[in-house]
Structure 1
Amino acid sequence: MRRRVVRVALAAALVSLVLVAVPLAIGIRISFLADERAELERSALAAAVQVGPDFTAGDPVELPRPATDGQLAVYDRTLRLRAGTGPQSADDTTRAGLAGHVVQGSYAGSLVVAVPVASSEHVIGVVRASSPMSAVWTRIVLAWLAVLGGAVVALLIGIAVATWQARRLSAPLESLARTADAVTAGDLSARANPTGIAEVDALANAQNAMVDRLSRILDHARRFATDAAHQLRTPLAGLRLTLETADTDPAADPRLAVADALRQTDSLQNTVQDVLELSRLPADGPRGALVPIAALFAETEHRWHGLLADTGRRLVLTVEPPVGERLVPLATCRQILDVLIDNAHTHGQGTVRVTALDVLDTTAVDVEDEGSLTTPAPALFHRGTHIGLSLARTLTESAGGRLTLADPSPTRFRLLLPND
């Protein structure tokens, strides 16, 4: 990633430098040559001013010192060198100057400018100014070297900026990759941190959301496995007890034992269906069929009466008239009551009483036994130590209700359900 960003940045910098440096180099060459010709023309004009009309008759000519490292000379109309320094035989540029206008050209590796000398509107000679091209090219090359040096400096700065930018861009992605590797290794607590780069943060947020959802799914799966094991324990125990009784009692009627086992199997099947249905329970409410509380209590008594009677305990279910026909979610309430009655059966004493009553226009179900509790109420619903009660509270809250310990001695749990 870093190398790729650096390569892209360097390619862009090189293209930019070429696009700037090449036209600049051409411009420097044209500008330096034009400046040199302009300087030669000024020198020739200055010399032409000092040439008198009688120079052809032998009047001496005093030429100024050339402004450049070149030569300055005066030729008459016969193109004979009369003063200064220059070739004895006039070149083509000097001949063209006799036409009466300034002429620029080159000769023998030198820049040449010819300026006519006029007297009484007649051309009487030509001033020739020249400068070696090598001197001009020396200045051009020096200027090109300066441009090249600036380009190298700019390129080095570009490399430094590209490296820094590549590190800045790749570091968040590398951190994101490390976070993904940690999640892959099983650390579902790993989260990507914000970087300040919008695109990378969007990717990090998407990854965090994915990990959050994955964590919830896995946690839900673990909870489902634990809840299923807990809820299936009681019907399996009842089925086993029925079969063991039929196996050990010679006087037992096999047909009655089979019928009882079938009823226990139906109960087990209902529990499995409830657990599967509740495992897909949304956060905003219960699923499944609604049944009257009286029907729910009748089914509950049928399933639990035998189990409690086998341990010498009674089960008393009471439905007060105002709430008997109120509808409640079957799967949710059946599992909640199973948890509460199983808790009374396992940890309580004496008669187990289940009462449905109206409390301020709210349906309340009390599950009471004759035992007592010393565990603080908040700890009773902690999933780590009380899986069943924790599940019962979760199911109650999913249905929009509340489950509380109403009284520790004798033990009484109260389930409050909203009226539909």
Structure 2
Amino acid sequence: MRKRLALLVVATTSLVTLAFLIPLALLVQMVAEYRAVSAATLRAESLVSVVAASDRSTVGLTVDQVSAGNGAEVTVFWSDGTQAGPARPNAAVELGLAGRSFSVDTANGRQVLVSVQGAPDGPALIAAFVTDHDLHRGVLHAWLILTGLGLLLIGAGVLVADRLAHSMVRPITELSRVSLRLSRGDLSARATPAGPSEIRDVATALNHLAERIRQLLREERESAADLSHRLRTPLTALRLDAEALPAGPDGDRIRDDVDRLERAVSRVIAETRRPDEPAAGCEAGRIVRTRLDFWSALAEDTDRRMSVDLPDAPITVALPADELEAAVDALLGNVFAHTPDGTAFAVKLRRDTSGVRLEVSDDGPGFATDPDALLDRGTGGKGSSGLGLDIARSAAVRVGGELQLGSSPTGGAQVTLTFPIPEQVSASSNPPPLGPTG
């Protein structure tokens, strides 16, 4: 914006300056020519009395004295063809001897002719020649001064425009920085109203918007915390019932599920109270393998072939273990919920330069609708709440990752979760964008 304003001022000032300087430069040239011709005319007229009253020898001496000084070169012509001075006769001299006084341009300057009538030796003509150098003496110097003055005016205009643009761009730049900080989750960012009234109004509105966002998030966190606390009572009753079950595989599995549910509720409460707490990492391979062991029993019951590709080396992701568990359960639950029994599926975990990728694909019919529409809450289609994919996406986005939907090699659905490794999260100066809490 500053560059555009500067260019606009340069163009405008240049046009205005040229509109004044060009006529002024031509006027300077005309004045210089008029001054030189007037001086030559005065010099020629000063000899009229000498030519009219003196003999030719006296006139010759006077012409030599006048021509020896600085100024126009003077020559006197008589009607009998004689002359006193260096100039040569021409058609203008013959016309002047007929009794006319005038000036005429020549190849090297201008000639001023003054007719003298009533001289003792007959009509005479005084010719004063002004060279081009004398005609334009001082013009170049004046033009240089005018050019410098024009450049000075343009420079001053650009400087003033730049200062004015800076006073406008600076608050706009600050608004941009504050907006970026808000988009990255820094709700304490506020803009200082400055600049023109319109920009101050925008800054005030942005501050009100930031405060409103903070208030809404605070209310949402309080609601999530209240809901989590309300779950404590039925969760306690569920735990008592689970503890009353006899020892055995079924009882142990139910008690483990209750423990996992209690940890999830406790984490929701902790996150709503400490929303800015940095996320702790976990070993992704172990979490995925544990959840696959859990879902393998259901896969065997529904006659589903499960392909697993997990690395032997530990892979750490910048996500809490319970959130990764919830994301994996959501993706595997979608496979069992939206594909018929007997549909094979595959789970692949790998690490590359971009981070850690978790792929869940199946041999089912694929996505029946636009995959992008499935990422909106509540639009998962008939028989679906649409929250499964959103849970997985929120877990990835929370630490700077992403969720991608596509087709598997067999034409079924494929969901890819990408997580940054902890080193990438700690090295990044940009916190993740705001997402749903709880």
Short-chain TM bin: 0.3 to 0.5
- Give me the TM-score of the superposition, normalised by structure 1: 0.48
